[in-house]
Structure 1
Amino acid sequence: MTKLTTVRLRAAAVLAGLALVLSGCFMSPGKFTSEMVLTGPDSFTFSYDGEIFFLGLSKLAQMDNAEESFTPSTCYDDETFEERDCTKAELDEQRADWDAGAADRAAEAKKKAKQMAAMMGGIDPSDPKAAEELVKLLQRQKGWERVVHKGDGLFHVSFRVKGTLGHDFMFPLIEGFPATNPFVQTFGRKNGQLRINAPGFTAQGSDNAMSGMMGGLGAIAGMGPGATDGEAVPGLPQLDGTFTIRTAQGMRILANNTDDGPEATTTGEALSWRITPRTAQFPTALIAAAP
């Protein structure tokens, strides 16, 4: 496979993946460090430091919505089925068909823009000040201590929050955005147990529906700078991070999918996952948080 072919295939994969934006999968972690610390039987702290990539604010999304120029289709010999030069009449017919579809393409682009704005709290991704508006939106919410736009849809954030285990938790949760793109979730159970999932911290889908959706964008992000299979796609961050769960004394880790299992600490136990473009399963753990 030539270098040009590889690049074209990667570009096609990226553009196909942009459909995930309109299905709710429009954010992806890049390089990050994240911790969920269970500080007591009914309390926790959560932190996320690193990159978040908003696909809708990237040049890739703009390329997907941009008006394409006319490109003639390949013509073939009716008998040998080999490629041949198109006649002037054939080119004129193709051009006429292209021009006739201009109104439909414009309507579809307008529809996509409205859908994207609805999914981004009313922020129009095509607006030059869209990134600035998103920064202001995040800084209004509790927990977002630092939000910096690094360009092309990539933000560097520092998020910290304290909460209780009396209710479920999800990150990120952004005002006006649909709650369909979680990196980390916690679910409290009536028997004092706590399920912690991190569906956003994987680059490959699994049988889990949420992981499959998140894995689509994660796999695209895995094609960013430093990807192991050669050609990198410009503008995409590489999935590269660490997720850690820490428990307090008296809590029991009932199940987890780490490679090494829990590690004893001075305050309880810790589970740690290394997240890379090769991560196939998202982190998950079941913890007895209360007696």
Structure 2
Amino acid sequence: MTKQSSIRMCAASILAGLSLILTGCFITPGKFSSELVLSSDESFSFTYEGEIFFLGLSSLAQMGAAAEEFEPDECYDDETYETRECTEAELARQRADWDAGAEARAEEAKRKAEQMSAMLGGIDPNDPQATEELRQLLLRHEGWDRVEDKGNGGFDVSYSVTGKITHDFLFPVIEGVPGTNPFVQMIIRDGKVVRINAPGFATDSGDNPMTGMMGGLAGLAAMGGGENAAMAENMPDIPQLDGTFSIVTKGDLKIRANNTDEGAQPTPTGEVLRWEISPRTKDAPTALIAFGQ
């Protein structure tokens, strides 16, 4: 297999994976500051200030669709197995085979469009008003104090909520949008213990596959020039992970475990755990905290 053939297969594989992610309406953070405060009276507050990005509303959707356009296969010499220029007859046969699958591809495209709409709470991503509809949907939820459109699927948001630790907590949760990939989870265990995970604030998390996908697309430029370099250069401006996440305890709470670099730091009223989040953050922030122990 030639270098150009390998590049083409790599590009096709990455874009096919991109198409799958888009059908899940993947949401990712950009620049942000987030804080979770836990108090000994078993109350909590959570804030998120900064960018969120809906891939299903971005120009990446068009890139995913482009992966399904006709692209002729390479032709090979029967004796040397090296690539050669395809004849007109060979190209015509390839095109005929592609055209024969047009109906099946149209059905698949319709199915994906319906999936995308379902993952956006019934909003059609191809509708020019889709972004504004999603913005209004978020503003109807408690806690979303500001939602400003930044274009290309990006929003600048301010979210804050308070409550009692009587139930699990997840952010973000969007009405009508199933299986939203979580930025932050707070899970209550028996014995007044809570587990906090932030899978959305890491690049190697199974809930955040997009960073690796984008790196693969950008890497095509290093493998070869021409259309591959152009594809990498035309990547949309996607927010990169860049922020801080803090867990603050107040009162007689016990931090049993955490994966910060420096551990818990004392404050006048308790302790604080802090993570600096960047594209190099491999492990999702996590902590185990007990009340009254």
TM-score after normalising by structure 1: 0.87
How many positions carry a matched residue from both structures?
Answer: 277
- Aligned counterparts of 1:247 and 1:18: Cα–Cα separation in 2: 41
Report if the CA contact (8 A) 1:15-1:60 is conserved: no
Report if the CA contact (8 A) 1:34-1:244 is conserved: yes
**1:182 equivalenced with 2:175 (yes/no):** no
Residue in structure 1 matched with residue 225 of structure 2 by the alignment: none
Report matched runs for 1:225-264 at 5 Å.
Answer: 233-264=235-266
Deviation at 1:248, TM superposition (A): 0.5
Deviation at 1:68, TM superposition (A): 4.9
- Aligned counterparts of 1:267 and 1:222: Cα–Cα separation in 2: 42
Q: Secondary structure at the match of 2:18?
A: helix
What is the Cα-based RMSD across aligned positions, in Å? Answer: 2.7
What are the ranges of 5 or more consecutive residues in structure 1 without an aligned counterpart?
A: 205-210
Residue in structure 1 matched with residue 78 of structure 2 by the alignment: 78
**1:19 equivalenced with 2:20 (yes/no):** yes
Residue in structure 1 matched with residue 61 of structure 2 by the alignment: 61
Q: Secondary structure at the match of 1:215?
A: coil
- Aligned counterparts of 2:145 and 2:240: Cα–Cα separation in 1: 23
Report if the CA contact (8 A) 2:182-2:199 is conserved: yes
Q: Work out the percentage of aligned pairs sharing the same amino acid.
A: 55
- Aligned counterparts of 2:7 and 2:76: Cα–Cα separation in 1: 25
Residue type of the alignment partner of 1:112: K
Residue type of the alignment partner of 2:107: A
Deviation at 1:179, TM superposition (A): 3.4
**1:216 equivalenced with 2:209 (yes/no):** yes
Residue in structure 2 matched with residue 96 of structure 1 by the alignment: 96
Report matched runs for 1:88-237 at 5 Å.
Answer: 88-204=88-204, 211-212=205-206, 214-220=207-213, 233-237=235-239
What are the ranges of 5 or more consecutive residues in structure 2 without an aligned counterpart?
A: 223-231
Cα distance, 1:92–1:219 mapped onto 2, change above 3 Å: closer
Report if the CA contact (8 A) 1:241-1:275 is conserved: yes
Deviation at 1:12, TM superposition (A): 5.9
Deviation at 1:11, TM superposition (A): 8.7
TM-score after normalising by structure 2: 0.86
- Aligned counterparts of 1:161 and 1:35: Cα–Cα separation in 2: 11
Cα distance, 1:217–1:70 mapped onto 2, change above 3 Å: closer
Cα distance, 1:238–1:67 mapped onto 2, change above 3 Å: closer
Encode CA deviations 1:30-54: one digit per residue, 9 max, x unaligned.
Answer: 1110000113331000000011110
